[in-house]
Amino acid sequence: MYRTAVGWLAWELTQSPGWLGIIAFADLIPTVMLSILSGAFADRFGFMRIIRISQIMAITLTLGLAALIFSGAINVASLLVFTMCLGCAESLGQPARMSAVNSMVSKRDLSSAIALGSASFNASRIIGPAIAGALILWVGTGVVILACSLMFLLFYLQVRTIHIVEANAEAKASGNLLLDMRSGVYYVFAHKGIRFVMILLAATSFFVRPVIELMPGVSGQIFNAGPTGLALLLASIGTGALSASLLLARRGQTAGLTRLLVLSTIATGAMLMLAMQFQNIWIASGFLVVMGAFMLSGNVAAQTLVQNSVEPEFRARVMSLFIVFAYGLPALGAVLMGWVAAMSGLQAAIGGGALLMVLFWLWALPKREAMSKRLEGERV
């Protein structure tokens, strides 16, 4: 709801697509730049404490933004500042939120818990903008931002009732935050199983996931379908992702997730290539439903495998790198793919990225069984 309202407000203030991109970038860049630092904070000071601080920041910032809107003093420069600050608050809390789930459920239920989290996230991406759009029409963006502040407050009050035993509570901090960050990065690359997962996650994030950012061009240039086609294509991916998350929640086990992660590597690329081969948008949408399902399955499998095998004292730092790979690389991939598309066309650029997934699958396939033993067993 917040992102929809801010995007609409930016359009009202500027009528500029360029400013829409700048505001979206300001919201995303703190996640890429600060997540590793946030992970180190969470491992040092505790997951729930960091989550509460991030929510207090979000409440304060949205109240301030709503006050500017109601007073009529809002302009695009102040909107940019508030957007970047709220992005920082989100970046601070995200590694802690992802890590805390491990302390809330048993190992047996970890896969289901992560999948249900993905289901709620994907459902919110469909429901939230719809609610925000209706409220903007009826009562304006100021009321939407104020409502978001209330939701952040309710979440903060809920978080205050949650008390968990954090496995890293007795771990000794190094006394050097930069050393903590560096040791987290080193841990990921030294752990053969987690490194394997991160490479496959990075490949999907860089070569397949950016197609979502390029969907306006896909709808317009490839299918000549405009905004209606864009809604259909994005809804297809979202439908597949939501369905897969619910199925994985029902499945509820870690065994077999390495196999699913490797399968998703080839399946996402293959479905994307097939979607780009047909001029009929309905046929393409069918392939995109399957692609969305495998893309989400790979993400849930990767997160579960990492959570299952990481040492408790490194958990938030490792999950912060997961966030960078899962949510930061698509932005870089979209820039590269857009540049290639400008020279060779969208179909060639997207198809080329999807084809590269075959190489990663061929690399991962012979390692699958050995990695499943490292990643799916009980950590000792």
Residue by residue, DSSP assigns 326-351 as IIIHHHHHHHHHHHHHHHH-HHHHHH
More confident residue, 110 or 362: 362
pLDDT at 46 over 90: no
| Band (170; pLDDT cuts 50, 70, 90) | very low
- Predicted confidence at residue 168, as pLDDT, reads 53
> Does residue 326 surpass a pLDDT of 70?
yes
pLDDT > 70? residue 267? yes
- Mean pLDDT across the stretch 211-228? 78
Q: Percent of the chain, pLDDT > 90?
A: 28
**Residue 167 phi, psi (nearest 5):** -65, -25
User: Cβ contacts of residue 64 below 8 Å, gap of 6+?
Assistant: 82
Which residue ranges form the domains of the chain, and what is each CATH number? Answer: 2-163 (1.20.1250.20), 179-376 (1.20.1250.20)
Question: Phi-psi category of 252—alpha, beta or left, where left has phi over 0 and alpha has psi -120 to 50?
Answer: left
User: What pLDDT score was predicted for residue 172?
Assistant: 47
Q: What is the mean pLDDT of residues 15-44?
A: 76
Quick one: pLDDT band at residue 380, thresholds 50, 70, 90? very low
Least confident residue range of 21-35, 150-164, 180-194, 316-330: 21-35
Return the pLDDT at 28.
75
Q: Backbone phi, then psi, for 46, in 5-degree steps?
A: 105, 140
Task: Dump the DSSP string for 114-163.
Answer: HHHHHHHHHHHHHHHHHHHHHHHHHH-HHHHHHHHHHHHHHHHHHHHT--
Highest-scoring range by mean pLDDT, 132-136, 292-296, 342-346: 292-296
Closest among 137, 30, 185 to 94, alpha carbons compared: 30
